[in-house]
Amino acid sequence: MAPDGYRYERPTRPTGASDDPRISDHVAAMDEMFADLVDESGSVDPISAKERAERRTRLGGILRALNHDALFVEPGPTLEYLTGVHWGHSERMFALVVDADGGHFWIVPGFEEQKARLQIDGEGKPGGELYTWKEHEYPYATLSAALRERGLRRLAIEPQVRYGFVARLLVALPQLSIADGGTAVFDLRARKDKHELALMRRANELTQRALVATSEQLHSGMSGWDIGELIVHAQERLGLKDVWDLSLIGPAAAYPHGTQRDVPLARGDMVLIDTGGALHGYQSDNTRSWVYNARPTERQQAVWQAVRDAQQRAFEAIKPGVRAGTIDDVARQSLTDAGFGPGYRLFTHRLGHGIGIEVHEDPYFDSGSQVILEPGMTLSNEPGVYVYGEFGVRIEDIVAVTKNGADHFGSWQKGPQGPA
């Protein structure tokens, strides 16, 4: 359960030159701790330009089936999914338009044209015609001309496009029929292919390996920030990028998205680490909860086992044709039967979220979801019990819907004595 928009922030370190020996010595010490962890990002190939071209062709078919002429996309996950192009947001329009034939073109600020071509043109890159606009012109006349040239009148909008652009499109291009492109994007991205599943499996395996390695380095007095720095460093050594972390100790873990990360670790505390990173753009997300350096109390054992049972029952209920909301119901009922219900009383959030090139994406395991599960869909399975003033337990693994049921990436946690 990566907090929405969450990114790990390192604890404050001494300021000064980048070669400050206090910083370099600290990094060297972590490198020594994790000397057996080496970059394994090459164990699965990244998505190729050919695969991205095939995605654009597939999107064209989806658009035709939905009676859309084209999809309008701003920089973000869908743009990267379709083209591999990374571009930041600003007040200036930079956009991709994919038409129902699978072709595409770009709308680019004129002064950024040459920079854009570095990512767009050339071998192994998406190509496509660039339409540029000058600062005094604004992009709408340029976009209108490009759409008119191609006979595109029914424009679907990718869900993450900012409203300000859509509002101005409606005013500047009244001849357009503008529609929500959410269904098109869901149909495009929700079902992962074999290559995507392999990337996600490996990413989650590496995160779980880092969790075990980090657990072996814990000592009394560490804060959640200290633990987080280790788990981030361990995953980076294994080759994951954009690593994030939420490490919580004792009562702080009763808040699902965390609080009081400066609490010192003591023997017998429940530790909750929620973390992940990206392998060639595909995300991991794992949570482990265990008791530090002591035998679990009866209370800790009972809560941990109830959460693990709920996770397992949810997993066993996953199969094609089942409504996603039903899986949340199964986990919630399991926890209610164990005395930790009803409803959202102690299991305070949905069971899980879709995951792929985003840590959180459609579909979702919440009781209101009407999505029918299909092979290739990937989601987090992460029940939890949160007792304010005591501790919280969450166990999270990524599951994939298969033809006959479900699979999961990595290994299940075996007990509350450690993350493995």
pTM: 0.94
Average of pLDDT values for 360-383? 98
Task: Tell me the average pLDDT of the chain.
Answer: 94
Phi and psi for 131 in degrees, rounded to 5?
A: -110, 120
pLDDT of res. 258? 86
- Region 183-192: mean pLDDT is 98
Question: Alpha helices of 241-343 — where are they, by DSSP H?
Answer: 298-317, 324-337
Report the pLDDT averaged over residues 115-137. Answer: 96
**pLDDT tops 90 at residue 70:** yes
Give the closest residue to 201 by CA, choosing from 281, 274, 275, 282. Answer: 282
Q: What are phi and psi of 236, to 5 degrees?
A: -65, -40
Does 140 score more than 70 pLDDT?
Answer: yes
Indicate whether 263 pLDDT > 80.
yes
Of 411, 244, 406, 392, nearest to 307 by C-alpha is 392
Q: Is the pLDDT of residue 18 over 70?
A: no
What values do phi and psi take at 110, rounded to 5? -55, -40
Mean pLDDT of 25-44: 94
- Lowest mean pLDDT across 68-82, 167-181, 235-249, 264-278: 167-181
Kindly tell me if the per-residue pLDDT of 170 is higher than 50.
yes
Nearest to 92 by CA among 156, 148, 164, 153: 164
Parallel, antiparallel, or unpaired for β 286-291 and 282-283? unpaired
Mean pLDDT value across residues 111-130: 96
Dihedrals phi, psi of 196, to nearest 5 degrees:
-60, -45
Domain residue limits, the chain: 49-189, 192-408
State in words which class domain 49-189 has: alpha beta
Cis (ω within 30 of 0) for the bond into 320? Answer: no
| Tokens at 44, concatenated | 């699965």
Q: Domain 192-408 belongs to what architecture?
A: Alpha-Beta Complex (3.90)
User: In terms of pLDDT, which residue wins out, 212 or 20?
Assistant: 212
* AA identity, residue 140: Y
Per-residue pLDDT tens for 230-252? 999 999 999 999 999 999 999 99
> Which helix or strand (DSSP H or E) is residue 154 part of?
strand 154-157
- Closest of 258, 262, 263, 284 to residue 273, by C-alpha: 258
- pLDDT the model gives residue 261: 82
